[in-house]
Amino acid sequence: MSPEKAHTLEPSADAPTPTTETSHAQERTEIATSDAPPTQGSQEPKPPPFPEHLRLEVEEFSRKTDAFVKSLEPLLAPYRGLLEAMKKERKRYNAWLEAHPQRVVYYQDIGTYTACQYMPNVEIRDTPEMGRGVFTTAPLKQGDLFLAEEAIVFAPQEDDPLIVSLLGMFANPWALAKELIQIDPERQALAAQLYNAHTDKSAHLLQQLAQIQAASTHTFPNAAPETLVRWIGTAQSNAFCFQVRQRKRVGMYILASMLNHSCSPNASFSFEGTTIVIHAQKDVPTGEQLFSSYLGGRNLPVERRQQMLQERFHFTCRCPTCTTEAASTPAESPPPTTP
């Protein structure tokens, strides 16, 4: 069996989450989804608190059916301006879809991802050293879109101080794991096939879960700790962080997770709402592997990169950049001249 590859992206506990949205997305006007939308004048009645169960539905508004949108209208009526802003966002997203010949891949489309027909000009193959990887089947030009995929699950990023302090960088996957235990078996089966780099930390994670359970009974999910630990590891190895209308989210994407890491990547990703969008960053000939960076594009020295990749994804990067930089480490450089 070929080793599974460590992949995906990088939620960082010790640095601000890198902005992953496209410049287009960043220019979007902020849409008020807060509990207290601004009111003009004191005579305006204060809307009721925003119903929590609608929060994620509202973020998914862009790609819901017309019938669903209609059914939400009376529920969103008290939140002045929200419905109009959502409709505008929905229109913008649909225009984006129409402007791209490739359709967005949903988990229902994926089937067996080794023969996914929805990724133009690329395919997933096994590699000798990196598990699965994404390869071109036709030349890609710089800027070509080769994958747009909807999350199988996404969640607000975790900000519970206890969980963040205990699980540290696992905080965001914790939020995702709580969703993963609730989704349908079809999506769970897809997620279960993703790489988990943290199986050796199970005992440690079980201890931390016990502490969380003791301290926050009301938020602890109804699942066996072993199941939670497995999903936390899977999420940690595969979670993508992004922002939707200024709100931090974490999501899981099956096909996007197949991209391996390089410190000099030839592909880069951004987000359209909750859809991940991946473009070639340079011209890539047929048969080449596509790589993204799991380090959020930060410019770090080779030792720090290797340390982060090892801690978070359990692999040693052997990309051309690391190979070159490792060959010229200070230890092997000529000693500095003394004054």
**Would you tell me the crossing angle of helices 82-99 and 66-76 to the nearest 10 degrees?**
160
Instruction: Write down the least CB distance from residue 259 to Zn ion, Å.
Output: 14
Q: Site residues for Zn ion, window 288-317 (CB under 5 A)?
A: 317
Residue 322 beta carbon to Zn ion: minimum distance, rounded to whole angstroms: 3
The residue among 176 and 263 lying less far from Zn ion, judged by its C-beta, is 263
Of 264 and 286, CB closest to Zn ion: 264
Q: In degrees to the nearest 10, what's the CA dihedral of 49, 53, 55, 58? A: -110
Q: Which of 54, 145, 183, 319 binds Zn ion (CB under 5 A)?
A: 319
Tell me the closest approach of the beta carbon of residue 242 to Zn ion, in angstroms. Answer: 23
Binding residue count for Zn ion, defined by CB under 5 A: 4
- Given a contact cutoff of 8 angstroms between Cβ atoms, the answer to whether 81 and 37 are in contact is yes
**CB of 260: closest distance to Zn ion in angstroms?**
11
Q: How far is the CB of 323 from Zn ion (least distance, A)?
A: 8
Binding mask 229-268 for Zn ion (x = CB under 5 A): ----------------------------------x-----
Rounded to a whole number of angstroms, the CA Rg of the chain reads 22
Edge-first strand listing for the sheet containing 289-292: 122-126, 132-136, 289-292, 260-261
Nearer to Zn ion, 235 or 317 (CB): 317
User: Token digits for 71?
Assistant: 């059914």
> What order do you get walking across the sheet with 247-252 strand by strand?
153-156, 247-252, 239-244
| Nearer Cβ to Zn ion (35/303) | 303
Taking the complex as a whole, how short is the minimal distance between the CB of residue 301 and Zn ion, in angstroms? 11
Q: Which of 110, 134, 259, 322 binds Zn ion (CB under 5 A)?
A: 322
User: Order of strands across the sheet with 267-272?
Assistant: 145-150, 275-280, 267-272
- 3-class SS of residue 150: strand
DSSP states of 88-112: HHHHHHHHHHHH-SSPPB-HHHHSS
Is residue 130 a contact residue for Zn ion (CB under 5 A)? no
Shortest CA distance to 288 belongs to which of 325, 320, 324? 320
Considering only 162-170, 179-187, 241-249, 321-329, which stretch makes contact with Zn ion by CB under 5 A?
A: 321-329
Q: Which residues bind Zn ion (CB under 5 A)?
A: 263, 317, 319, 322
